[in-house]
Structures are given as C-alpha cells and as structure tokens.
Amino acid sequence: MEFTLSYWLISMLPVIVLLLFISYWRISSQISAVISLALAAALAYGVFQLEPAHMLLSAGKGTFLSLYVILILLGGILIFKVVDKAGGFNSLEAYITELGGDSTVKLLGLSWALSGFIQGITGFGMPVAIVGAMLTGIGYKPLIALTTVLIGHSWAISFGSMGSSFYALQLVTGLPAVRLATVMALLFFMPIFTTGLFTVHVYGGLPAIKRELKYIIPATLIMGSMKVFAAVMGFPHIGSLLAGLCGSAFFLGVLLYRTDEEIDMPAKMMSLKAALFPYILLILSVLIAQLPPVDALLPGWEISLSFPGFTSGLGYEVAAEPEFSPIGLFSHPFTFLLVATFIGIIFYLFEGELEKENVTSIFTEGIIQARSSMITVFLLMILAQLMNDSGMIYMFAQGMAAFSGGFFPVLSPVIGILGAFLTGSNTSSNVLFGPFQVDTAVILNYSEYMIASTQSIGGSLGSAIAPAKILMGTAIVGVGGKEGELIKKGLGYTLTSGLLAGFVVLLLAQIL
C-alpha cells in the first residue's frame, strides 16, 4: 500500500473523533464508539477499498477479541462484589488507616508497586480490577484510584503477563532475546520514575511530589535494577513480577517503620487475611498454575476461530489467522477469577461474613453493572480490528516515520502508545508495529534494539489510556460514564512519559 499525505490524514480521523467525543466533548463512551466505528467503516470501504465481506471478517475478529476482555471485566466485577458484600473493604480500610505514613505513600505502594507485581503475574487488566477496586474500597475517590493505578501499573506491562508482550516483540522482530531485554530494561528506568512521579501528582500535585521524592527515587532504583537483573540473567518474563515484589516490600517496610504502635483491629472487623482472601487466592492460583508440573497437568483446551487472509483494494495484505486469539479454558484470567469468586463466597458464608440472601445479588448486580461497559468494549474491539485490517493503523505509523526524520526515536513511543490505545494491549501493539519500527530504525541508521524497546515502552505506557482497560475499571468500581475524564487525565501523563523515553534514546544515539 503506497503512502500518501491524504491517506495519512484520513487514517487519523477515527482516532481523533473518538478522543474528542469521549474525552473533551464528554459524550458517552457507547455513543462515541458507535460514531467512530461508523466513520471507520465508511473510510475503510470508501477510501481504503475494503470489501464488505472483508469488513465482516474484521468485525468477526473484533467480536472474538472483545470476548477475551469482556470475560475479565465480568470476573473482576464479581470478585469485587463478593469482597464488598462481605465487608472486606471496610476491614482493609481500617487496617491501612492504622498503618503509619501518609495516604500518598500508601497510594504509591498499592497503585505503583503492588499493581506492577500483579501485572507481572497475570496482566490483562487484572491490576486495574484488583488494585482499583481495593483503593476505592478503602476510601480513595474512584477517579483518583483508577487514574493512579492505570498510570502506576503501566511501567510493568512490557515484561508483565509472564513476558507475553516482550516475547511477542522479540518473535516478530527476530532480535536476540537477552540483548533486547537488557536494552529495554535499562531504558525502562525513566518510565518507572515518571509513572511514580505522575501517580503522586494525580493525588497531591507538586507538593506531594516534593514530599515523597525520597521514596520514589529509591523505589525506582530497586524496581529498575530488578528488571535489568532479570533481563541479564535470561528470565525477562519475571522482570515485572520481581520488580513489583521488591517495590511492594520496600513500601511495606516504610509503612511498618512509620507505624508507632502495634496495629489493633476493631473486634467486629474481620482479619486482613480474611478481607483479602479472594484476591490472595486469585494471585496464588495464577502463580501455581504457571509452575511447570501443574501446567503440564492442566488440559490445554482452547476456544479459537479461523479467519482467512485477504488483500484490500489498495494492496494492504492481511494474513490468515488459523487460530485467532485463542482463549485457554484453564489459562484465561476469567477462570481464575471465577474460581476465586466461588471459593470466596463459600469462605465468607462459612465465616458468617456473608448472608445467603446476598449471594444471588452478587451475580445479578454484577451483570447489570458490567452490561454497558461490555457493549462499549465490543464496539471498540471491532473499531480497532477494522482500522488494522484496512491498513489505517499502518498508514498512520508510516506517516509518523516519514515526517519525523532524525527525531524518529522521540515519536517511536507514540506509535506504540497508539497501538495500545486502540487495541488495549501492549502485545497487540508490538505485533502490529514491531517489525515496522525495526525496519524504520535500519533505514534511519538507529539502533534496532533501542527503537524496538521504545515501541514496547510506548505500548506499555499507552495501556494507561486504553478505553477497553478504562472501561473495565469504571465498571468494577461503579463509575460508568467517566471514561472520558480518565482518558483526559491520563493522556498528558502518558504522552510525557513516552516522549521523555524517546528523548533518552535520541540523546543516547548521539553519544554512543
């Protein structure tokens, strides 16, 4: 497909419309998604010459992709409802209130460090589902809680989900894993630092940053060093897990050090372990399932669909997908969420913390709460797939490369951000743009490893403003309709982090 200025400008229209409608004109996410999808369909057919049959194939792919996200969204709401109905969040709030240290340090520990640890284990929006619900449940304002965890966990995504995003990039680029992982881990020091700063800024502005910088700097060094250590040693798939675990331990140590007296929970409150039981069970079950002996015992049953390849009227080729986005029945996060939900219900019933008559309401209220967000995720996934299969996303990236010239390293993360924004996935962004970014690096005489790294760093950061992930958070904490505000809050932080990472690479390219 030949690049032209007019195609480049047209390819941006659905994204611009979506951003304006949902973020700045505050039109509901559902209506914004419908309008953007209709525009993308018209452009795909009338400008990018995609046949109606091929558009239906793209819609089918988007529908199946949406199922992956919708299941996590529903599972996240159900486990939240169980803990909430049992009064677990009340106990958690009482415990954290008793801990020493101000509320900003506590927020940092949860939304920046703990969320990174959870991302390292499972990903797929689970940090937003768990930590976002936890922060809201213990008294932080819902929009603050979601914004901080969306920004706070975004440093951990490239090496999160047991390395799925990283290995996707490594496979499509063909670059040696250890060297690519090491370069990427070193470049992540800046995003780790900026996401920590911005998490604090969202909550308390510049005064809070000045006050908490003494914790952000050492935590950045600890978490960044753990990423580098994992990369150099050849196990980048646990980089975020190790970094998040060490970061969480650091903040727990700070909070316990600043606690003058022994924590004494009210007699009527359940214990901290009981309050967090479903979430502890969830994390442990995911970890155990990934142990080689256990993984070997679990059936590898998957649900997947096959889609044929095709070529658009403009010559853009879409590869065949014999097993498109498979959903593993024993590996998908929904399975673990559902198991933790049911065992949590049984546990709280046995402990007398949950009434039998409330069990039914957990599911009925959960489905009602999720309904609107599920529809919007469905529409957005079709939008992303249609833009991808028509060549619009690729055309946009080509334009960025063509007009950036010597400043391409600065804009390289923005391409990664765009991919994650549309698809809700760093993995998908890496698959879409990884080869393109490396080819551009060779043409412009930049390091393939650095540019591939900035692609994944951008995709990692861009997940903070992905509508699909934001919808998951607003549905779980019950603030549907606020997606635009969250995107608007996070956009500046995300772009700033990405551009700074790009400037670091540009500077290194001049020095090395």
Give the per-residue pLDDT at 187: 96
- Is residue 120 within 8 A of residue 128, CB to CB? The reply is no
Hey, what are 424's tokens? 């809700």
pLDDT for 301: 86
Contact present, 459 and 123 (Cβ < 8 Å): no
Q: Which residues of the chain have pLDDT under 50?
A: none
Helices (H), 102-234: 103-108, 115-121, 126-127, 133-137, 142-152, 164-173, 177-187, 189-232
Which pLDDT does position 267 carry in this prediction? 60
> What are the contacts of 502-507 at 24+ separation with CB within 8 A?
502/409, 502/410, 502/411, 502/412, 502/413, 502/414, 502/454, 503/409, 503/410, 504/187, 504/190, 505/187, 505/409, 505/410, 505/412, 505/446, 505/447, 505/450, 505/451, 505/453, 505/454, 506/407, 506/409, 506/410
CA distances from 140 to 107, 114, 143, 305 (A): 9, 16, 9, 42
How deeply is 56 buried, as exposed, middle or buried, from its count of CB atoms within 10 A (0-12, 13-18, 19+)? exposed
Residue 264 has what pLDDT?
Answer: 61
Tell me how far apart the alpha carbons of residues 192 and 217 are, in angstroms, rounded to a whole number: 10
C-alpha dihedral, 71 to 74 to 80 to 81, nearest 10°: -140
CB 247 within 8 A of CB 112: yes
Output the pTM of the full model. 0.77
- DSSP string of 8-70? HHHHTHHHHHHHIIIIIS---HHHHHHHHHHHHHHHHHHTS---HHHHHHHHHHHHHHHHHHH
pLDDT of residue 262: 62
State the pLDDT at residue 123: 65
161 dihedral zone (left: phi>0; alpha: psi -120 to 50; beta): left
CB 469 within 8 Å of CB 150: yes
Range 357-395 burial, b when 16+ CB lie within 10 A, else e: ebeeebbebbeebbebbbbbbbbbbbbbbbbbbbbbbbb
Domain boundaries, the chain: 5-290+328-511
**H/E segment holding residue 303:** strand 302-307
C-alpha pair distances (Å), 221 with each of 186, 190, 229? 11, 10, 12
Euclidean distance between CA atoms 114 and 109, whole angstroms = 6
What pLDDT sits at residue 113? 93
Q: Tens digits of per-residue pLDDT, 327-351?
A: 888 877 788 889 989 999 999 999 8
- What was the pLDDT predicted at 472? 80
Of 1, 26, 69, give the one whose Cα is nearest residue 379.
69
Residue 101 is predicted with a pLDDT of 67
Q: What is the C-alpha separation between 244 and 153, in angstroms, rounded?
A: 9
Q: Are 426 and 164 in contact (CB under 8 A)?
A: no
* Backbone angles phi and psi of 97, in degrees to 5: -60, -35
